Amino acid sequence: MPLNSVSSPRRVSVAPMMDWTDRHCRYFHRLLSRHTWLYTEMVTTGALLFGDVARHLAFTEDEAPVALQLGGSEPEDLARAARLGEQWGYDEINLNCGCPSERVQRGAFGACLMKEPRLVADCVKAMRDVVTTVPVTVKHRIGVDDVEDYAFVRDFVGTVAQAGCSVFIVHARNAILKGLSPKENREIPPLKYDYAYRLKRDFPELEIVINGGIKTLDEAEAHLQHVDGVMLGREAYHNPYLLADVDKRFYGSNAVAPTRDEVEAGLIAYCATELARGTYLGAITRHALGLHRGVAGSRGWRRVLSDNKRLAAADLSIFDEARAHLREPAEIPG
């Protein structure tokens, strides 16, 4: 049996992805799965402390449960941002210790923080001191640059755990801070799932969630023999209907999985509400381009829902036009 088969709400989650996992994406994913744990995009402490808090933190109960991922490295700033996250109703505060982008490096946070485990511990403690109702978690890589030794990530987790962090989301690749783009950092450093497995063996009291290159629910199930949770990334975004089977398979739900047509109907209703609020239609449809992935005619669906001229018209009949490209499945002879 998988570890913690009932106790972890993060048995399956969708990764925080910049420019992708916004509130519209989360609403769409929630139409597919009621239980999959969802994350915001990374929000920097500066954006919350000096920017428009509502723009960054507002979400609806229809999206819940949702975790807020923060980017920062100053304990006091992170504590203030975490308190805001708790006040706005998020179910988890997550610290990003895995992003390798140059912008994040200039801010001395993200994957850079793995080199400073005691600072991360201080950040976690500062957040936990002010956040009392939800967990503070950490998402990290297994190494930085040419550091390949398992002892590096083991010691990082051990140090941060002493500050009271009990949930670690392990992107099972190194972060290469110089020479690779963020996209290349997701693809080139080799995956070492066994490092995440070893962390669970070495710290059985901690909740270990594995992330990186997982493309099917069968793969997720195999990982759950070794760790407590699986985080899906780009596969969940590009092939979102994958999430429709998560509730039954991993959370014991008796609800029938929604059909693509039912998901589309829910999305259209959401679009109608958002259009009335002045939302640009394309801000929503871009997240649903993969709904019919693998279905004949899906290219036409994507093309129509990406047409800027049609989207600017804010006419929901665009869905009828997109759907017309999808061919009916062949009839099975009786």
CB contact set of 271 (below 8 Å; sequence gap of 6+): 281, 284, 285, 316
Q: What are phi and psi of 206, to 5 degrees?
A: -90, 155
Identify whether the C-beta of residue 85 lies closer than 8 Å to the C-beta of residue 39: no
* Residue 18, annotated as binding a ligand: yes
Any binding-site annotation on 127?
Answer: no
The catalytically annotated residue of 99, 112, 123, 271 is: 99
Residue-wise DSSP of 229-253: EEEE-HHHHHSGGGGGGHHHHHH--
The position carrying tokens 């992708």 is: 20
Distance CA 135, CA 38 (A): 15
Please tell me the distance from the alpha carbon of residue 243 to that of residue 26, in angstroms, as a whole number.
12
- Closest by alpha carbon to 212, among 194, 230, 238? 230
Neighbouring-strand partners of residue 39 = 67
112 classed as catalytic: no
**Are the C-beta atoms of residues 203 and 162 closer than 8 Å to each other?**
no
Tell whether residue 190 is among the known ligand binding residues: no
309 is known to lie in a ligand binding site: no
Q: Alpha-carbon distance 243 to 35, whole Å?
A: 10
174 is in an annotated binding site: no
Q: Which residues contact 36 (CB under 8 A, 6 or more apart)?
A: 12, 13, 14, 29, 243, 246, 247
Residue 71 marked ligand-binding: no
From residue 178, alpha-carbon distances to 1, 42, 44, 223, 313 in Å are 41, 21, 22, 30, 44
| Annotated binding residue 16 | yes
Q: Which two tokens stand for residue 215?
A: 């493309």
Cα distance between residue 159 and residue 13, in whole Å:
25
Question: Which conformational region is residue 89 in: left (phi greater than 0), alpha (psi within -120 to 50 degrees), or beta?
Answer: left
Residue 212, marked binder:
yes
211 is in an annotated binding site: yes
CA atoms within 13 A on the CB side of 219: 13
Could you list the residues known to form a binding site, using ranges. 16-18, 69, 139, 171, 211-213, 233-234
Catalytic residue set: 99
Question: What are the binding residues for FMN?
Answer: 16-18, 69, 139, 171, 211-213, 233-234
